[in-house]
A and B are shown apart, each in its own frame.
Chain A
Amino acid sequence: MNNRTDIRPGSTMERVNANLARRYAKERRFRRMGMGAIIISLLFLTLLFSSIISNGYSAFWQTSIQLEIHFKAETLDPDGSRDPGLLSAADYSSLVKGALRGIFPEVKKRKERRKLYALVSSGAAFRLRKMVMSNPDLIGSTARIWLPADDDVDMLVKGYIDRDKPEAERRMKDFQIAWLERLQREGRIEKRFNTTFFTAGDSREPELAGIYGAVMGSVFTLLITLALSFPIGVAAAIYLEEFAPVNRFTDFIEVNINNLAAVPSIVFGLLGLAVFINFFGLPRSVPLVGGLVLTLMTLPTIIITSRAALKSVPPSIREAALGIGASRMQTVFHHVLPQALPGMLTGAIIGMAQALGETAPLLMIGMVAFIVDIPAGMMDPATALPVQIYLWADSPERAFVERTSAAIMVLLTFLMAMNAVAVILRKRFEKRW
C-alpha cells in the first residue's frame, strides 16, 4: 500500500492539515465574493435613491411671490349683484397684472409687460377666483397674498438656471432676473411647502401639476385589482391544490398559469384593449378597465404564491384532520387555509405592489391620457402613478424633472409601505399559532 491511499486511523491527519489551509481560503474567498455582491447592490441602491432624492426633494417646495392684490369691485362685480356666475367669469388675471404694475411702474413696453406678468403663474388667477368665490366679502379690499411663481422663476430661485450662461441661451432674461432680485430684496419671494403637488391633478404648468389625480387613479385601479384577483386567485389555488384531480387537464392548467406569469405585461394591455374596450365596449382610460387588466396580470402571481403557501402547510395537519373524520372541505377551511393565509396575503400584497408599479398595460388601455380632473370613481377617466411619472418624464419643462423624481419618491413610499404591511401581517398571523 502506498502512502497516498493509506487511510488507517491516524495516518491521514497530515494530509488533512495540508488541505485545511486551502479549504479555509476557498471559504473565505466565497464569503468575500458574497459580501462583494451585497455591497455592489447596496451601492447601486444608494446611488438610485440619492439621485432620485437629490433630484426630487426640491419639488416639495414651491417659490411664491407676495403681491398686494386689490380686489377691485369694478372689475369683479361691476353691478354689485354678487352673482356667482358673474364672479367666476370675471377677469382675475387683471388683478395680478395690476399688482405687478404697482410694484414695477417703470415697465411700460408691451413686450416687457408680458414678461413681467409671466413671473407669476397663470394659476394665480384661479387661486384668487377661488378665494373670492368662497368669500365674496373680499371684494373691494386689498390683501397681501402669496401667489405661486411661474416654473421658470421657481427654477431660477432653486438655482437650476445657470445665471452665468449667455443671456440668449437661458430662459430668463437679464431684466427678468433684475426684477426678481428686487422682489427678493423686498422680501416678496419665499419658498413655501408645495401643497399643490399633493392636492392637484395633472397640469401643463409644472407649478400647478400634482399627483393627487394619479394617486386616486391608482387607488381605484388597485381596489378593483385586489377585489377581483385575491378571491379568484385564492379560490383557484385552493381548488387546484386541494380538490382538483391530478390529470392531464390540471397539468395543462398548471403549466399555463406558470406561462401567464411570464407573459410580458404589455400583452395583457393589448388583451384588455381588445376584450374590455373593443368587445365589451367599456370606456377608455377608466380605472375599472385598468383594474381588470391588472387583475389578469396579477392573477397568476397570486395563484402561484397561494399554491406555494398551501403546499407549505405540513401534510401531517391534513392527515390529522382527515384522520378524525373531517371532510376535505373542513380540513381545508379549518386547518389548511388558516395556516396558509399569511403566505397568501404576502403573495397578494406583493402582487398588488407589482400592479401598482405597472405602466405598460395601462398605456394600451388609454390611461396615459392627459387628465386634469381628480377621478371620483371607477368610471372616471384617470391615470395611474407610474403612468404619471412616465408622462412627466416625457415633458420638456425643467420643473417637471424634479416633479418626476418626487412622484417616484411617492410611488416608492407606497411600495415600501405595502411590503411593510405584508411583513407585519405575516408576523401577526404567524404569532397566532
Chain B
Amino acid sequence: MQTLIKQQSTIGAADRRTVGRVTVENPRIRCRNVHVYYGEKRAINGVTLDIGRNEVIAMIGPSGCGKSTFLRCLNRMNDAIDGCRVTGDILLDGQDIYDKRLDVVPLRAQVGIVFQKPNPFPKSIYENVAYGPRIHGLTSTRSELDEVVELSLQKAGLWDEVKDRLNQPGTGLSGGQQQRLCIARTIAVGPEVILMDEPCSALDPIATARVEALIDELREHYSIVIVTHSMQQAARLSQRTAYFHLGDLIEVGMTNQIFTNPRHRLTEDYITGRFG
C-alpha cells in the first residue's frame, strides 16, 4: 500500500515540530516558544506563532489540545486560574505582555475576548456596551458615551435591532444577538486584537451566519484569533489556520492549503475525520 506523505506510523518528537510558516510580515502579536503549565501538567508545549494585522487566524484541533488555553494566554485571561504558569515570550506590538511591570487592565483593553457562551452582563443593552468605556475612562461626557455605544452597536451589526430598546436587559436578546452584543461590548473599548473562543458554538445556523459575516467585516480593522470546532467555519472565515494537537502546534498554513493539502499527517487525520 502506498503512503500519501512519507511519515512514521508513531508520533515521535520530530513530528511535533511545527510544520509550515509560523511567521508573518509585521506581526501584531509575536509568540515565541510559549509553554503553559497547569500545576505540573503541561497544557501548551512550546508554541511559536505570529498573528498578523487585519487577518483572521483560526485555531483548530480536538478538545483538550490547548487551543483555548493558548488563546487565553494572549490577553492573560489565564492569570485568574490558580496554578497556571506561562513561559516564553508573547509580544504585542513588540511589548512583552507577561512583563512583570505591565498592567493587565490596559492589555485587556487592547486585546478583547469573546467567549463561547454569550455572556452579557445582567444589565441593560446600553450599560453592557458602555461599561468598558466607562471603567477605562474613554469618554468624558454622556453624549460621547452615547456615541461610542451607538458606533459599537453599529459595528457589531446590532444597532438597527436594538436602538429602540437600549434600556432593556441584554439578557433578553436572542442568543445570536447576545453574542453580537458581547462583540459590541468588546469593540467599545477599541481593541487591536479580538480573541474569540468558539463564538458560534452555542448559536443556531442563522445566528452563526450573521456572526460570521460580522467577523468577516471586522477583519478590516482588527486582528482576529478564533478558536473553532467547525472546520467549515475555519475555512470560511480565516486566512490562516493553525492546528493544535495535545498542546503542540502541529501545523500552520494558509487556510486553503490546510484544507486541501495539509502537510502533517495529524492535521490530515483530524480534518478528514480520522482522529482517534
Question: Residues of A at under 8 Å CB distance from B?
Answer: 245-246, 314, 316-327, 330, 334-335, 339, 433
Residues in chain B near residue A339, CB distance under 8 A: 122
Residues in chain B near residue A319, CB distance under 8 A: 77, 80, 113, 115, 119
B144 CB, min distance to chain A CBs, angstroms = 18
Residues in chain B near residue A246, CB distance under 8 A: 82
Q: B121 and A325: CB pair below 8 A?
A: no
A430 CB, min distance to chain B CBs, angstroms = 10
Within 8 A of A (CB), among B127-150: 131-132, 135-136
- Among candidates B75, B107, B182, residue contacting A320 with C-beta atoms closer than 8 Å: B182
Q: Which residue of A is nearest B119, CB measured? A: A316
- Among candidates B106, B113, B136, B171, residue contacting A323 with C-beta atoms closer than 8 Å: B113
| Interface bin, chain B | 20 to 34
B70 CB, min distance to chain A CBs, angstroms = 16
Residues in chain A near residue B186, CB distance under 8 A: 323-324
A204 CB, min distance to chain B CBs, angstroms = 58
State whether A325 and B119 are in contact (beta carbons under 8 Å apart), knowing that A245-B82, A433-B169 are contacts in the complex. no
A74 CB, min distance to chain B CBs, angstroms = 79
20 residue pairs of the A-B complex, CB under 8 angstroms, read A317-B119, A319-B113, A319-B115, A319-B119, A320-B115, A320-B119, A323-B75, A323-B112, A323-B113, A323-B114, A324-B132, A324-B135, A325-B105, A325-B108, A325-B109, A325-B135, A325-B189, A326-B105, A327-B105, A330-B135
State whether A323 and B115 are in contact (beta carbons under 8 Å apart), knowing that A317-B121, A339-B122 are contacts in the complex. yes
Question: Residues of B at under 8 Å CB distance from A?
Answer: 75, 77, 80, 82, 105-109, 112-115, 117, 119-122, 131-132, 135-136, 169, 171, 182, 185-186, 188-189
Q: A325 and B136: CB pair below 8 A?
A: yes
Residues in chain A near residue B106, CB distance under 8 A: 325
Q: Which residue of A is nearest B79, CB measured? A: A322
Q: Which of A319, A320, A325, A334 has the most CB of B within 10 A?
A: A325
Q: B115 and A433: CB pair below 8 A?
A: no
A64 CB, min distance to chain B CBs, angstroms = 59
For the complex, what is the distance from the CA of A43 to the CA of B115, rounded to whole Å? 52
Residues in chain B near residue A314, CB distance under 8 A: 119
Q: A324 and B189: CB pair below 8 A?
A: yes
Residues in chain B near residue A323, CB distance under 8 A: 75, 77, 108, 112-115, 186
Q: A316 and B135: CB pair below 8 A?
A: no
Q: A322 and B108: CB pair below 8 A?
A: yes
For the complex, what is the distance from the CA of A327 to the CA of B131, rounded to whole Å? 12
B232 CB, min distance to chain A CBs, angstroms = 26
